[in-house]
Structure 1
């Protein structure tokens, strides 16, 4: 037992000094107080880190890629009546939806009266766009009696195979013949339905239009297109009747404010999900009639998991690149070395691309318990070590000054 004690003594890293050999100074007391204060601040910071909740992202393959995706939209066109706006949706699968206003989106007329702006739901029946020609322009069978409205030469009617008995039918017939429809003036069917007068009143009042609601898209690259005039697909081409838009040179443009744009489920909690709606509040107010605005969106499926892992919220976030150009093309006003392409249709297009990956954000504490303890111990040890070195330096300086005075 006695022989083992010298060996243990030789291993002692904490050598002690006797009380009589210790020297206490006022500067040492000040340094000690400072060290205690600094140590407490560092321990407090470690505790804040320990109790802070952060989200750690994880990237995985999205297994829901075959499910449809909701697009939640709220956009205001300040200088374009609702009757002139067509909303088309098409993607790389070949699916094409003309005028998706009847598929979850609603139009609200923006009225500008007395210097004030108000909105009302546009409850007027829209002219049909997607119905096949033989359903809109219904003909009479052989021997069948009934009224057969004129198509004004746009469709053959020598055997009453096509009948245009409504304003929608005449407009569809004009589109089939690639004729310009304008506002339907002098067309008996449109005059009787009040379409012509209603449209003129809205144009003269400089009405705008707000489109909001939700629509479904496939999880592949595609485009949601806002353009003026009747839209249709003919001979593999997607075309618009711009006759009314071009009739008024001093009216109409696609100045707009994106009040909200998101994809998938909407958050219903007080958590900050601002990254999900990057374009919220974005506006384009350049008063340019013949102009094209493009938004290129990269959409990534995202899941948020709470700390306990019991609550899961699946949604989507996106990044965006904006681009606009005049239809006449030419050099860019801001970058003279950039030349824009010529042609196109005025309007606003959201071009979206769906990522095959998914981000999972799991809530975790910023530090583990062992990390917190290690941080506290390291903070105290570091402060004491620096304090000891500072105290020795001050004490040595005091001794040197005292020695010079004694000389």
Structure 2
């Protein structure tokens, strides 16, 4: 008897319906309602796909703060080719702390091979696009393009012509203060008031400050950054040519999915003129890169939509579509 009563109780619970359904005979179907429902579900599916694409996408957030680090050293990475023999020129850095640092050099051929010239044109096109479309830099940050991609490719065959150019390359540890990296005639010699270049020992006919900057950066080499002067080439029309680059260095922290580290970006303003003391254009022939450190530090962070936000937006889309179906007007009787 107890088993029979339990079975009856279970059957009653199963058949219990707190929300009775409307009999199908009372429901009036129409083609317009079905069409609206189909469009609503299609629209909901499109919104879901678009929301998922937004969820997968990331964007860059830029935060600014005061740079409080003034004691650490700054790394200068340089690769410049000057159309003069190494014995005729000197390259060094002199900063406000009166510290002089020299760099390594070697004889090369100034003219590029067709493959190297193609690489240079490609890099110059990227530089032009970066000036017109700032958002392109965000794509480079995300892709974390390695610096080896922007490196000058080696020559396919050793040159047969005489090596008449000087390649100055390597990295220097400099103080984190304003300074001047310069290349001018004559080797540098230190003296109590700074340093001087022995230009008197070089014939004026040997002056040629045509140069090519294959790479110049500050700080650790970081993928995803193309520096403003990479791929720059200047051809001097006069022997007494003076090239000036005014550089502002901005400390940068890069926090992306692929890269996490500290580096330095910079902006540059260029100026060139011919030295002619007879016309009042005074100065020294050469290449001068005057740099200064910005007091602001930039933190670049790759942001991503959190999962709870994606689910919230998805639920909102579903609720909106259901409301649109409920609010459909009844067909006329």
Q: Normalization by structure 1: what TM-score?
A: 0.54
Give the structure 1 partner of residue 224 of structure 2.
273
SS at match of 2:30: coil
Which structure 2 segments of 5+ residues have no match?
1-21, 117-160
Q: Kindly report the root-mean-square deviation, in angstroms, between the aligned alpha carbons of the 2 structures.
A: 4.0
Give the 3 Å change call, closer, same or farther, for CA 280–247 of structure 1 in structure 2.
Answer: closer
Q: 1:43: Cα distance to partner?
A: 1.7
Give the structure 2 partner of residue 343 of structure 1.
282
SS at match of 2:208: coil
User: Residue by residue, what CA displacement relative to the aligned partner does 1:258-290 show, whole Å, maximum 9, x if unpaired?
Assistant: 1111111123xxxx5225x23221222344322
Give the structure 1 partner of residue 178 of structure 2.
221
Number of matched pairs: 266
Map of 1:204-283 to 2, 5 A cutoff?
Answer: 205=162, 207-232=164-189, 236=193, 239-243=196-200, 246-248=203-205, 251-267=206-222, 272-275=223-226, 277-283=227-233
Which of residues 237, 240, 243 is equivalent to 1:293? Answer: 243
Pair 1:48 & 2:53 matched: yes
User: Residue by residue, what CA displacement relative to the aligned partner does 1:43-89 show, whole Å, maximum 9, x if unpaired?
Assistant: 22222322334443332333332111110111112x21111121131
CA contact (8 A) 1:307 1:364 kept: no
Give the structure 1 partner of residue 268 of structure 2.
320
Map of 1:176-191 to 2, 5 A cutoff?
Answer: none
Task: Indicate the larger mover: 356-365 or 251-260.
Answer: 356-365
Q: 1:380: Cα distance to partner?
A: 4.2
CA contact (8 A) 2:107 2:163 kept: no
Kindly name which structure, 1 or 2, has the bigger radius of gyration based on alpha carbons: 1
Give the structure 2 partner of residue 97 of structure 1.
100
CA–CA distance in structure 2, aligned partners of residues 117 and 241 of structure 1 = 37
Give the structure 2 partner of residue 284 of structure 1.
234
Give the structure 1 partner of residue 314 of structure 2.
376
SS at match of 2:294: strand
Pair 1:362 & 2:319 matched: no
Q: 1:117: Cα distance to partner?
A: 12
Give the 3 Å change call, closer, same or farther, for CA 38–297 of structure 1 in structure 2.
Answer: farther
CA contact (8 A) 1:108 1:210 kept: yes
CA–CA distance in structure 2, aligned partners of residues 264 and 348 of structure 1 = 21
CA contact (8 A) 1:307 1:362 kept: no
CA contact (8 A) 1:35 1:387 kept: yes
Give the 3 Å change call, closer, same or farther, for CA 83–31 of structure 1 in structure 2.
Answer: farther
User: Residue by residue, what CA displacement relative to the aligned partner does 1:74-119 show, whole Å, maximum 9, x if unpaired?
Assistant: 1112x211111211311223x1416x13xxxx21211479x9999x
SS at match of 1:288: coil
Pair 1:84 & 2:88 matched: yes
Q: Normalization by structure 2: what TM-score?
A: 0.65
Give the 3 Å change call, closer, same or farther, for CA 35–242 of structure 1 in structure 2.
Answer: farther
Give the 3 Å change call, closer, same or farther, for CA 346–358 of structure 1 in structure 2.
Answer: same
CA–CA distance in structure 1, aligned partners of residues 186 and 325 of structure 2 = 79
CA–CA distance in structure 2, aligned partners of residues 288 and 374 of structure 1 = 67
Q: 1:315: Cα distance to partner?
A: 1.6
CA contact (8 A) 1:111 1:117 kept: no
Q: 1:212: Cα distance to partner?
A: 0.6
Give the 3 Å change call, closer, same or farther, for CA 376–235 of structure 1 in structure 2.
Answer: same
CA–CA distance in structure 1, aligned partners of residues 52 and 277 of structure 2 = 60
Which structure 1 segments of 5+ residues have no match?
1-16, 119-203, 331-339, 400-407
Give the 3 Å change call, closer, same or farther, for CA 385–212 of structure 1 in structure 2.
Answer: farther
Give the structure 1 partner of residue 107 of structure 2.
109
